[in-house]
Homo-oligomer: A and B are copies of this chain.
C-alpha cells in the first residue's frame, strides 16, 4: 500500500458472523481503473482441512444478499440459503469448509461504490470504476489467497452468483475442481438487459438520486422501491402468483385512501417486499452490480464464442441447474451452459427443475433443490 493511502473508518458489518479481509495490494479492474484498497466481507462455516485446499466450497451470492448465507453460533439468524448450508445439509459443513463472499461492488462489508475512496475519504459513488463479474470473481479469489486458500473444491452460485462462479472457473481453471451454476447464463438475454436497464433508469430518474451524489443512507428510496418491484416480478413466475394471489383483494379497511391506491393482494405483496429492500441496499451499489450482469459474456473469454469461453473451464465435474418457469435466465441458457461444459470435457449433470417460483426458486424451493445439490456434493 502506498503511503498516500489513508485508511478510512469502515462501516459496520451486517452480522456478528461476518469477517472482513483486506487484499494485500491495489486491485486492478477488468474494464479499467484501480482500487487502491479492497476489503472483502465473508462468512465461513465448517473447518478448513489440514491441506487448506481440498475441502473449500466458495459460494457467490445473487445481486442483493450479504455473505450471511447460513446461521452459525455467532449469528443464529437464518441466512439466505439456510436450508442448503450446515451440518447434514446439502452443502454439509461437517465435510466442507464453506466460504460465502459479499461481492466486490456490494454494500455489506465489501468495497463498493458506497465505500470511502481512501484517496479522498469520500464515498466513491460514480467514481467507482466499471464493475465486471470477473472482478467479483477475482476479488473473491484474492480474498481466499489472503486467507491462505489457493484452491477451491467447488465454486457455486445462483443468478449473478452463477455468473461469478463461471467467471471464477474460466479465469482460474487450475484452481477449481467442481462448478455449480444455478439459474445462471453465459450472457444475458436482451429481455433481461431491458428489465435491468429500466430498473436502473427508474432509480436514476428519482430526483433523490442526485446524479449518484445522495448522502449515504438517504438515497433514492422511491426509485429503489419501484425498481425492486420490477425485480420481484422478474424473479418469480406468473404461474406462482396466480395460485398464490389470484384476484384476492386487500380488505377495504386496510386499503390506503386515494384513487389508484393498491386494491389487489399482489400489489400489497410487492409493496411489502420492496420496502424491505429499500431499507438495506445502497442505490449506487445496485446500479453497478446490475450493469455487471448485462455486460458479462462468456464469449469474451473465447474470442467471441460462448463454447470457446466455456472450454477454458477445467473443472472435473459440473452441476448445471435451471428452472422451467424462470424467464429472466431461461432454461435454454442452462442447456447452453451444460452443453458447452460437456464439450469442454466436464462431467456435467444438468437438472431442469419444475419449480413454480421462477428465477428465485433456489431461495425457496428446498424440496427440489436440496436433493439435487446434496447428491452432487456427496460424490467422493
Contact B247 A204 (CB under 8 A): no
The reply to whether A205 and B230 contact each other, CB–CB distance below 8 Å, is no
User: Which B residues are CB-close (under 8 A) to A197?
Assistant: 262, 264, 266-267, 270
Least CB distance, A128 to chain B, in whole angstroms: 9
A205 and B190: CB pair below 8 A? no
Q: Does B242 lie within 8 Å of A226, measured CB to CB?
A: no
| Residue A343 at the chain B interface, CB threshold 8 Å | no
- Say if the beta carbon of A238 comes within 8 Å of chain B: yes
Residues of A42-68 whose CB lies within 8 A of B:
none
Q: State the Cβ distance, A213 to closest chain B Cβ, in Å.
A: 12
Most chain B CB within 10 A, of A241, A291, A330, is at A241
Contact with B along A212-255 (1 / 0, CB 8 A): 10000000001000100110010001100110111100000000
Q: In terms of DSSP, what is the predominant structure of the interface of chain A?
A: helix
Whether the Cβ atoms of B200 and A260 lie closer than 8 Å is: yes
Least CB distance from A134 to B in Å reads 17
- A233 and B195 form a contact (CB under 8 A): yes
Contact in complex: B193, A242 (CB < 8 Å): no
- A372 touches B (CB below 8 Å): no
Chain B residues, Cβ within 8 Å of A130: 259
Establish whether residues A194 and B267, one from each chain, have CB atoms under 8 Å apart when the complex forms: yes
Q: Are B233 and A194 in contact (CB under 8 A)?
A: yes
A97 lies within 8 A of chain B by Cβ: no
Chain B residue with the shortest CB-CB distance to A264:
B193
Give every chain B residue within 8 A of A205 (Cβ-Cβ).
206, 222, 226
- CB atoms of A287 and B264 under 8 A apart: no
Partner of A190, one of B192, B230, B241, B287: B241
On whether the beta carbons of B189 and A233 are closer than 8 Å, the reply is no
A229-B198, A327-B238, A327-B327 are contacts. A193–B266 as well, Cβ < 8 Å?
yes
**8 A–B contacts from the bound complex (CB under 8 Å):** A188-B247, A190-B264, A191-B238, A194-B270, A197-B262, A201-B226, A205-B222, A212-B259
* A-B interface, 5 closest residue pairs, ranked by CB to CB distance from nearest: A191-B238, A190-B266, A190-B241, A190-B245, A197-B267
- Since A191-B238, A197-B267 are in contact, a sample of 10 more A-B pairs with Cβ atoms closer than 8 Å, ordered by chain A residue number, is A190-B238, A190-B266, A191-B233, A191-B266, A192-B238, A197-B270, A201-B229, A202-B202, A205-B226, A260-B291
